[in-house]
Structure 1
Amino acid sequence: MIRLAATLLLGFSSAAAAAAPSNPDPFAEHARNPLLPGYFADPSIVHDKGEWFIYATIDPWGEGKLGLWRSRNFRDWTFATPNWPTKAAATSPTSGKSGVWAPSVVRGRDGHFWMYVSVGNEVWVGTADHPAGPWRDANGGKPLIPRNFRPGFHMIDAEAFIDDDGQAYLYWGSGLNWVNGHCFVVKLKPDMVTFDGAVRDITPEHYFEGPFMLKRNGRYFLTSSWGNTTKDSYQLRYAVGDTPFGPFHEPEDKPLLATNPASQIISPGHHAIFREGGRDFILYHRQALPFPREGDEVLRQVAVDALTITGDRILPVKPTHEGADVPGTAAHRAAGRPVRLTASSARDPLHQAAKAADDNYATGWQAAPGTRSWLQADLGASRRIGASQLRPARPSQPLRFTIQLSDDAQHWRSIGGAITASGSPIALPAMAKTRFVRLTFDNTPSILEWTFP
């Protein structure tokens, strides 16, 4: 399997590599990276009252809404789409064609939650009393930063930063056509919407987009993405300054996190940094495997790894497929009953049915295109089955399927009618005593995991 995957990865240029993880196999069973089941990018994270919230762009290139993942243990995640923003609700005379991208969610000094998000190539701001919403527009139905605010640059990727004294700042900016990225910053008034003073250009070396500010030991670290997320050149960099406005300079000319072809970690970038149990962690997206994909489709997945800061240096991140041990969280996802999965077809050897039962979100079953397909579970013996769970690769898109049961895989009986469902996980009903369960789909599905209690 590794040999085949390596062959599929040939053809992209070499890039700066981070330290190799201890297990370089991205297709190993029970891998904890990717963290989320599905194709998502540009993550932002909040931990509030014992619950984790991850907000993210829905790949490819965003939809008309955001993705929101919630978890109590940091391992078992449930998908939803917030009520705001939507492409329809957040539009203006200056809006571009792009969808909903790159959320940044923070708790303000007023105790409310604030979201700064790119919609139609401009920045909008919303607020909520709870991380899950309901969200409401906070700027009178108009963008906080319109698309033409600084002509020649991309007004996207806004990221809020709250300093130790409660003062809020907003960072944003990118370039056009993957070149000439610029980073802008402004102080925010206590209402978290009004600019307090002039907007400043603080672009450091090797900056393209996705700024994220953090403060450690009195120093300000401006971390950001550089390169092209559709290629293997995308990487994370950082610069250091003495104030939120800088000036910012890179203490050394090397990436914080970059492509490592040997470990099949491709184009890591657009990140958030969070602290838990006195330790720092980085949440970021990287290319879904195999890469490059057929037709140059851009699909990314979210991963988490440890981050170490020493003085005015951030040590190069060690990207892994195992994921990080975050204090106070579960060591692993909830285990399911071992089952044998077979299917009517598979797109290629990397997407056979068994890949939907390996507890690894980098892999999954994909049916051959253009076929009416089925996925079948063999529990090994007849038994009563509790509610099982499907985790589709694209949870925002509905699946339509029927369920059949059999004791011998020859004679089938249907239960209920056709089911149309979206989300993740999709809960299937408990079933009568049986050995085989078959799902027959109307469309061409992609299922990352099918788990049984």
Structure 2
Amino acid sequence: MKSRVLNILLLILAWGTISGQQRMGPLSMEDINPILPGYFADPTIKRFGDIYYIYATTDNEMLASGVPTVWYSKDFGHWYNYTMEVPSLESINLRNFWAPDIIEGDDGRYYLYFGNCQAGCNIYGYVSDTPVGPWEKLNKDDTPVIAHNYPRKGFPSLDAQFFKDDDGRIYAFWGTWVHYNGGYAVGELDSGNMSKVSNAKNIPLEETPKPFEAAYMMKKGGKYILMYSGGSCHDETYNVRYSYSDTPYGPFTPGANNPILGTNGEGTVHGPGHHSVLEEDGRYYIVYHKHDYPMTRGGLSRQVTMDEMVFENDSTIRKVVPGSKDLQHFVKSNAPKNLALGAKATASSFYHLQSLQYDYRYKPSFATDDHNATMWKAGNNSFPQHLTLNLGKVSPIQRVMTQFEFAGYYYQYKLEYSLDGKNWEVFADRSKNRIAGSPMIDDRDVKARYLKLTVLDVEKTGLYAAVWNIKVFGSLFEAPLDLQSKPSKEGPGAKSLNRKLVAIDANDLPIQHDLASLPNRGNIGGNFEKEGEVTVEEDAEGTRALNFTKGALVLDRPVPKSLEWNGSFTVATWVKNPQIAKEDECLVSWCDRFRFNLANSYNALHFNSGHYGAAAHLDGHFDMEYNNLPSADQWHHIVLTFDGVVENIYVDGKLDNSQVMALASQIDAAKIRIGASDVGENYSGHMASMQMYDYALTESEIKKLMEATRPSDGKK
């Protein structure tokens, strides 16, 4: 989940490109995968009593650093999400809740463990009287249950899974990036206090060939089956493998038919791994994550999936058939019929994703297909947006369940009903809602043929009105638990005002070698102050430009809130770079690169030949390079846009590269900098002009801007 490898495989090849468009494999209403509506990874599935629980990493933000949640269900047909109350550490405000696992102790209490890399990569432990919390620290002094550097120096303690043997002894298995960290680790958990692991050792790499992370131990007959994930979690190479032994400590013999689960030929299961196993009535089910579709850059918008896993004997697992449609026997829902299933749906707009990799529509009908791989997404991230259902006939409606795109953030909305589609009455008014959850449940006793959902706002800047599924029922039924997450104290998110925020033009400036500051001609005003060496000069052709030599221009105004989190933007500039380096060469930045250091929390436009040559987001798996590197010592119009879904880089009016992207930009205390980032990475060339907007310009608008700002040589 947290690779530091900087060289990635092209994701396009994994899906197969046909005439520049990628096609999704067939979906079926009989297929229950993914089993959860949302972006979650590293699932641990447990059954306590008659309720199933899935504990998972909350994905799709800042290197999978979302809130700690749990999903629960009695029937596998309806899953409910709850944000757990987990106390923070004294030294750090926790934001990593990676790869959780839970075990029931001999005392009847529940013990929750998860990884965190904010103060070294450690495994922390918590305890509660219930499987959902509230949780208390196992170690009041914040001592990790499994600390970094254990069992040897430099070993990262992440991805811990706990296994209770027949004799009551509990073993821990952990490790990530193990292909260059010497193999997985195994140790014994103190079953008395559940807060300390001892007798740890590394499992030699040759006993688990081609590993990456996510060890999982289970027992079949007299054999100990050590399952794990190989390849890279960021792309199609991710897979599930296994070895077996006569003891929890090994030695382990690799399975002869590895890997047993990988990307399928249709591409509907892409990059599967980091799993757990559920045994039910003598049958085994592997619960794992796979990548979303269209796939978000870096592979950290993952979804939880389940398939049956079959043993040939105690030491051999058959290859799993991914994406199989034979799990309907597992769904045991007694809920009434979903009146919205297959209902005709229309919307105020829907998003048409068009990039170099994809041509895909987030159609309104996807909200009524009861499938967690598809969603309706509005055409842009403005509000309000509405979705209207035609149930086909007048029907009693007592409950509406809405699964918004992000279970961990609140949506403000209104539900209305109508007999004729013209005259509307309020079914539920959540216009001031600040409670997150999935599904959002609204009850009332009415009769209607039409139902309209109007999404008014959302907690985080730049998120869209988007719905995995909306379900309608003519009668009520009980949820397994009566839980509701606490209201948020944040937001709603700031809105784009469709403004030109920043504008500078060297033609407005006199030639001078002692430039102190220059005014910002954009809407937010202010002045750019010089740091280091920046001058106004004319090049050999007489074109006036700012010349950067280990210097920068820093705006004395705060970065607008509309640019935080997933906010849309455009940065456009005319530049001439005499020599193109392999790294650095930052043209414009508006986040601090190392303040948060979490994958997609940083944004900047660059001009170098490396993996972040065009757009930098802190990690090679998220950065974007130039497909066709602009030539050195020539003027080029370079534009970076982001509309909340797709990031595009244009060179001289033509789309050069694109990627589906989820941002979590952190702008607190940051500055808009031209010619450098907060840590340097200085640009060493000429810049004739620069404009920055809090919305994404279209290709035609970019071409008009290019011509309007084209630098002149002073002779015309």
Q: TM-score category by the smaller chain?
A: 0.7 to 0.9
With 439-448 and 166-175 compared, the bigger mean Cα shift is at 439-448
Structure-to-structure mapping, 1:103-182, within 5 angstroms: 103-120=100-117, 121-140=121-140, 141-149=142-150, 150-175=152-177, 180=181, 182=183
Q: 1:76 to 1:255 in 2, by over 3 A?
A: same
Matched residue SS, 1:429: strand
Report the CA distance between 1:41 and its aligned residue: 0.7
Number of the residue aligned with 2:409? 397
Q: Which amino acid aligns with 2:454?
A: T
Partner deviation per Cα, 1:99-121 (whole Å, 9 max, x = no partner): 11101112233433222211233
Structure whose alpha-carbon radius of gyration is higher:
2
Distance in structure 2 (CA, Å) of the matches to 1:211 and 1:67: 22
CA distance in 1: counterparts of 2:325 and 2:333, whole angstroms = 11
Partner of 2:218: 214
- C-alpha deviation, 1:300, in angstroms: 0.9
1:356-407 CA-partner distances (Å, limit 9, x unpaired): 1111111111112223211111223444422211012211111111233444
Deviations 1:167-209 (A, max 9, x none): 0111111128x85573111112222222343444444212211
CA distance, structure 2, for counterparts of residue 304 and residue 142 of structure 1? 35
Aligned: 1:51 with 2:64:
no
CA shift digits 1:17-72 (9 cap, x unpaired): xxxxxxx9552224211111211111111112111111111112433532211111
1:68 to 47, 67, 70: 70
- DSSP-derived class of the 1:355 partner: helix
CA contact (8 A) 1:160 1:169 kept: yes
Q: Distance in 1 between matches of 2:210 and 2:299?
A: 26
Task: Quote the offset at 1:429 in angstroms.
Answer: 3.4
Deviations 1:268-321 (A, max 9, x none): 100001211011111111111223x3x556211111111112131111111125
What is the alpha-carbon distance in structure 1 between the residues aligned to residue 304 and residue 54 of structure 2? Answer: 10
* Larger displacement relative to structure 2 (432-441 or 204-213): 432-441
Which residue does the alignment assign to 1:5?
none
Matched position secondary structure for 1:356: helix
Q: CA deviation at 1:92?
A: 4.4
Deviates more, 1:192-201 or 1:123-132: 192-201
Structure 1 counterpart of 2:450: 436
1:288-437 mapped onto 2 (5 Å cutoff): 288-291=292-295, 293=296, 295-296=297-298, 298-309=300-311, 310-322=313-325, 324=327, 330=332, 335-338=337-340, 339-348=343-352, 349-372=360-383, 373-414=385-426, 416=429, 418-420=431-433, 421-430=435-444, 432-437=446-451
Alpha-carbon separation, structure 2, partners of 1:354 and 1:31: 17
User: For residues 319 and 311 of structure 1, what CA distance do their matches in structure 2 show?
Assistant: 22
Q: Which moved more, 1:184-193 or 1:47-56?
A: 184-193
* Residues 334 and 132 of structure 1: CA distance in aligned 2, closer, same or farther (over 3 Å): farther
| Matched position secondary structure for 1:75 | coil
1:48/1:448 CA distance change after superposition, 3 Å: same
The corresponding residue for 1:102 is 99
In 2: Cα distance, 1:63 partner to 1:252 partner: 36
Change (3 A) 1:198 1:146: closer
Is the contact made by 1:388 and 1:452 (CA closer than 8 Å) also made in structure 2?
yes
Which amino acid counterpart does residue 29 of structure 1 have in structure 2? M
CA distance in 1, matches of 2:170, 2:394: 60
Partner-residue secondary structure (3-state), 1:306: strand
Partner Cα separation in structure 2 for residue 34 and residue 417 of structure 1? 28
Does the residue aligned with 2:251 lie in a helix, a strand or coil? coil
Mean CA deviation greater in 432-441 or 276-285 = 432-441
CA distance in 2, matches of 1:255, 1:13: 17
Are the equivalent residues in 1 in contact too, given 2:412–2:430 (CA < 8 A)?
no
The change in CA–CA distance for 1:290 and 1:246 in structure 2 (over 3 A counts) is same
Offset of residue 355 of structure 1: 0.6
| Structure 2 SS opposite 1:83 | coil
Secondary structure of the structure 1 residue equivalent to 2:345: strand
Whether contact under 8 Å (1:128, 1:135) holds in the other structure is: yes
Unaligned runs of 5+ residues in structure 1 are 1-8, 16-23
CA contact (8 A) 1:337 1:451 kept: yes
* C-alpha separation in 2, matches of 1:297 and 1:226: 15
Tell me if structure 1 keeps the 8 A contact 2:66–2:408: no
Distance 1:27 1:371, change over 3 A: farther
Partner of 2:187: 186
8 Å Cα contact 2:31-2:328 kept in structure 1:
no
Matches of 2:453 and 2:280, distance apart in 1: 41
Q: Does the 8 Å contact 2:182/2:202 carry over to 1? A: no
CA separation in 2, counterparts of 1:179 and 1:342?
A: 51
Q: 1:225 to 1:337 in 2, by over 3 A?
A: same
Between the aligned partners of 2:401 and 2:415, the Cα distance in structure 1 is 13
2:243 aligned with 1:239: yes
**Contact 2:64–2:300 at 8 Å: present in 1 too?**
no
Residues 26, 263 of structure 1: 8 Å contact kept? no
1:146 CA displacement: 3.0
- In the alignment, is the contact (CA less than 8 A) between 1:189 and 1:195 conserved in 2? yes
Query: 1:335 & 1:42 partners in 2: Cα distance?
Result: 32
Quote the residue 1:18 is aligned against.
none
Equivalent residue number for residue 21 of structure 1 = none
Output the amino acid matched with 1:393.
E
Identity fraction in percent: 29
Stretch deviating more after TM superposition (212-221 or 421-430): 421-430
**Structure 1 pair 442/113, CA: closer, same or farther in 2 (3 Å)?**
same
Give the structure 2 partner of residue 20 of structure 1.
none
Q: How many residues align?
A: 428
Q: Are residues 321 and 91 of structure 1, via their aligned partners in 2, closer, same or farther at CA, if it must alter by over 3 Å?
A: farther
Instruction: Identify if the C-alpha distance between structure 1 residues 358 and 217 changes in structure 2 by more than 3 Å, giving closer, same or farther.
Output: same
Q: What SS is found at the alignment partner of 2:12?
A: coil
TM-score by length of 2: 0.56
Task: Tell me what 1:447 maps to.
Answer: 467
The superposition leaves residues 84-105 of structure 1 with CA deviations (integer Å, 9 ceiling, x where unpaired) of: 2x5xx14647x9x861110111
Tell me the residue number matched to 2:674. Answer: none
Stretch deviating more after TM superposition (248-257 or 299-308): 248-257
Can you list the C-alpha shifts for 1:324-355, whole angstroms capped at 9, x where unaligned?
3566x517976301432111111125411111
Match of 2:686 in 1: none
Deviation of residue 238 (structure 1)?
Answer: 0.4
Whole-angstrom distance in 2 between the partners of 1:136 and 1:112? 11
